[in-house]
Structure 1
Amino acid sequence: MSTPGSSVFARPYRAFLFDMDGTLLNSIAAAERVWSLWAERHGLDVAAFLTTIHGARAIDTITRQALPGVDPEAEAQWITDAEINDVRGVVPIAGAGAFLAGVPADQWALVTSAPRELALRRLQAAGITPPTVMVTAEDVALGKPDPACYVLGAQRLGVPVQDCLVFEDATVGIRAGEAAGADVMVVTSTHLQPMETSHPTIDGYGKLQVRCSADGLLTLVHKAG
């Protein structure tokens, strides 16, 4: 975890913007079961392909493969339907629920590459109450690493994105947060290998809490003890 002197602990924010998969919940097992079936069906190297799926919209992942005769929209819908029907093993990142409970409801948003229906299904499976503001795959023309999703999340909360802290786990999402001009906190709970990053990191939310000032600003603090 970052030290208390890290920049994200030294400044107040107007809002927090959270990615979902790998950031608030762990859906790796479910996602990889579905994507493995899809990759096998299309003759891809499954192990190599699975390293490319995290953090991106399904339609973007499929389009990148440039498979002849494949309709990315139809295939993305197949992926979404299969993932909605398979949430076995979807669990919250340690401490996520309690941490979110300490953030005012109108000062955080979910910004995910998942379609809305899938996002709601996974949040339910993980026991996380959906926020009022959600940005999902359908809301943007370009997915992460394009910054539009994080800019839109801030707009819907009514704050400048530069005054937000983005919580992310995947490289494409980190790049989206950077490009939007927001500060970034990297959540490493689901990483199998250490990530090289200049951003502060946490392996869960258990040692974090948020302090809300009288003028409505949010500050991250380390729990005592």
Structure 2
Amino acid sequence: MYPPMPHGFEKPYAAFLFDMDGTILNSILAAERVWSDWARRHGLDVAAFLPKMHGSRGIDTITRLNLPGVDPEHEARLVTEAEVADVGDVAAIPGAAAFLASLPPDRWAIVTSSPLRLARRRLEAAGLPLPKFMVTAEDVTVGKPDPQCYILGAERLGVSTRDCLVFEDVAAGIKAGEAAGADVMVVTATHHHKMETPHSTISSYDEIAVRISADHKMLVVPSAA
């Protein structure tokens, strides 16, 4: 007999919504190389800047800086091109490939702050499947932590956000999932420091599995169950 499971495990869901970078694949080294080069070119303190760029659309990150004479749209395109070219050490989060393969294809989506070209490139580099449904940077007018992306992801799957479990790794995405009305599972595989969160956490997808209920909903269970 297993003890009562924390929030995110005891409830069956109609669909799962996955962030990409840091959640199903690790692209931190590649992203930080590109963004470090960009930050240095613009005279920024790289160490202070890097923590602020994770989880947000590139255009939103650059716009927030309000740098004189800098066109955020143009600069974001340059960053994307550099990121598309730099995927040498992008890798899947442990267990992610098998976990995604175990899900019904029409019951999950990727909801990422990355542009579509970059998302496809990184998924390919990590050996992960291209999902049937995906929401990327181009699909929204405001990025995370705004909930628009997760609301759109649920709409594309034909379900309510309240019937979705969002998998996320950073604060901006967690806030977006919460604001959308979804439950959240925090993936800590790429975290260097412990995150204080009221949500359930996993460090690897090897820790969990999915059972399909009689009404065709998905229940997250410990992988040993």
- Code of the residue aligned with 1:114 in structure 2: it is S
Following the alignment from structure 1 to structure 2, what is the Cα–Cα distance between the partners of residues 4 and 92?
Answer: 30
Where does the alignment leave 5 or more consecutive residues of structure 2 unmatched?
Answer: none
- Code of the residue aligned with 1:175 in structure 2: it is K
1:151 aligned partner: 151
Following the alignment from structure 2 to structure 1, what is the Cα–Cα distance between the partners of residues 162 and 112?
Answer: 19
Moved over 4 A (4+): none
In the TM superposition, what is the alpha-carbon distance from 1:214 to its structure 2 partner?
Answer: 3.2
1:83 and 2:83 correspond: yes
1:167 aligned partner: 167
Where does the alignment leave 5 or more consecutive residues of structure 1 unmatched?
Answer: none
1:61 aligned partner: 61
In the TM superposition, what is the alpha-carbon distance from 1:8 to its structure 2 partner?
Answer: 1.2
Is the CA contact 1:186–1:202 (under 8 Å) kept in the aligned structure 2? yes
Following the alignment from structure 2 to structure 1, what is the Cα–Cα distance between the partners of residues 183 and 207?
Answer: 20
Partner secondary structure for residue 185 of structure 2: strand
In the TM superposition, what is the alpha-carbon distance from 1:207 to its structure 2 partner?
Answer: 1.7
1:211 aligned partner: 211
- Code of the residue aligned with 1:30 in structure 2: it is A
> Size of the alignment, in residue pairs?
223
Is the CA contact 2:8–2:199 (under 8 Å) kept in the aligned structure 1? no
- Counterparts of 1:1-225 in structure 2 under 5 Å? 5-224=5-224
Partner secondary structure for residue 152 of structure 2: helix
Following the alignment from structure 1 to structure 2, what is the Cα–Cα distance between the partners of residues 62 and 204?
Answer: 31
Following the alignment from structure 1 to structure 2, what is the Cα–Cα distance between the partners of residues 195 and 207?
Answer: 18
Q: For each residue in 1:66-94, what CA deviation from the matched residue of structure 2 results, as whole angstroms up to 9, or x when unmatched? A: 10000000000000000000001100000
Q: For each residue in 1:18-64, what CA deviation from the matched residue of structure 2 results, as whole angstroms up to 9, or x when unmatched? A: 00000000000000000000000000000110011100000000001
In the TM superposition, what is the alpha-carbon distance from 1:124 to its structure 2 partner?
Answer: 0.2
Following the alignment from structure 2 to structure 1, what is the Cα–Cα distance between the partners of residues 171 and 87?
Answer: 24
Partner secondary structure for residue 206 of structure 1: helix
Is the CA contact 2:7–2:199 (under 8 Å) kept in the aligned structure 1? no
Partner secondary structure for residue 51 of structure 1: helix
In the TM superposition, what is the alpha-carbon distance from 1:7 to its structure 2 partner?
Answer: 1.9
Is the CA contact 2:123–2:129 (under 8 Å) kept in the aligned structure 1? yes
In the TM superposition, what is the alpha-carbon distance from 1:138 to its structure 2 partner?
Answer: 0.2
- Code of the residue aligned with 2:7 in structure 1: it is S
TM-score by length of 2: 0.97
